[in-house]
Amino acid sequence: MDFFDDLTAAIARNGTRHSVRCSDKVWQQFLSASAPAPARTPAAAAAHNEQAPPDRNISQAAMESFPAVSAFAGNPAGDVPVPSPAPAVPAALPADWTALRQMVLNCQSCPLAAHRTNAVFGEGAENARLMFIGEGPGADEDATGRPFVGAAGQLLDKMISAMHLNRSEVYIANVVKCRPPGNRMPGEEEAACCIGYLHRQIELIKPEVIVLLGGTALHFLLKVDGITRHRGRWLDFNNIAVMATFHPAYLLRNPSAKREAWHDLKLVMAKLGISI
Ligand code: URA
């Protein structure tokens, strides 16, 4: 059982979602120690505020561990708006899903194309109220052409389900559509080549809320750095409410941060009118 599995189960045990608050009693059911998975190199983690791991094929053992939680940790910075860059989607990008998908699947705009098995366009409801944005495909995503299907994806599924949603009613995409070799972070130029696709996806979906998974997504969508500083409070992208939170891969390596991630997701639920 994972934290978010356990959370969902505890909410169910405590009656309807409407009757449950994240009381200490409920929280206590999630608290126990776990061994963190190995970290990305310190330099790379520092550069992107400890986002994704060097290898997204994280062990099942790490997935199944409980978090170690000490105290409630909201973001003391509060709801300080961060200006959005208001990017222009290049006119050459198609404004319909079929053509846009085809363009991504055939894209040769940057060197990442040469390394991919499949471009990963994104998936979910094209009219989703909630959109999740990650960093880029890992090995499993590259192999299948689907976003977030590896270990981090399984945790994301649990996070979505703890929010009383399922994968088919949200939209899941990445900053870059092709896997960076060795799961390294996408470079500035690679992301610059690809970001228009994401902007167009956002424009087509018009979600009410975007959740940025990790500092790389935060960096490339909002041009701000510091997931620890910016998570847990409302940001803005072209008048869409944005919540940044920890990347699921980071949560697998640092289970104690799941509590903060859950805090962030509860803000998103409240914004969408979903009872906890
Ligand atoms: N990590 C990401 O950022 N995106 C994926 O699709 C999978 C893992």
Residues with CB under 6 A from ligand 1: 52, 56, 134-138, 141, 147-148, 150, 152-153, 174, 249
CA–CA gap between residue 22 and residue 4 (Å, rounded): 13
Question: Cα 58 to chain center, whole Å?
Answer: 16
Model pLDDT, residue 176: 98
Residue 56 alpha carbon, nearest atom of ligand 1: 8
| Band of residue 135 on the pLDDT scale cut at 50, 70, 90 | very high
Counting residues of the chain whose pLDDT is more than 70, the rounded percentage is: 69
Query: Which tens digits make up the pLDDT trace of 90-102?
Result: 668 999 999 999 9
Average pLDDT (210-235) is 98
Q: Is pLDDT of 195 > 60?
A: yes
Model pLDDT, residue 9: 73
| Band of residue 12 on the pLDDT scale cut at 50, 70, 90 | low
Q: Is pLDDT of 55 > 50?
A: no
Answer with the residue of higher pLDDT: 25 or 207.
Answer: 207
Atom 7 (ligand 1) nearest CA: 148
- Alpha carbon of 226 to ligand 1 centroid (Å): 19
Model pLDDT, residue 153: 98
Model pLDDT, residue 21: 38
Average pLDDT (37-57) is 44
**Amino acid making up residue 269:** M
Q: Is pLDDT of 1 > 90?
A: no
Summary mean pLDDT of the chain: 80
Residue 152 alpha carbon, nearest atom of ligand 1: 8
Average pLDDT (195-210) is 98
The answer for 21, left when phi > 0, alpha when psi is -120 to 50, beta otherwise, is beta
Model pLDDT, residue 66: 21
| Band of residue 3 on the pLDDT scale cut at 50, 70, 90 | confident
Identify which of 40, 50, 56 to mutate to test ligand 1's pocket (most ligand atoms within 8 A of the CB): 56
Average pLDDT (61-72) is 27
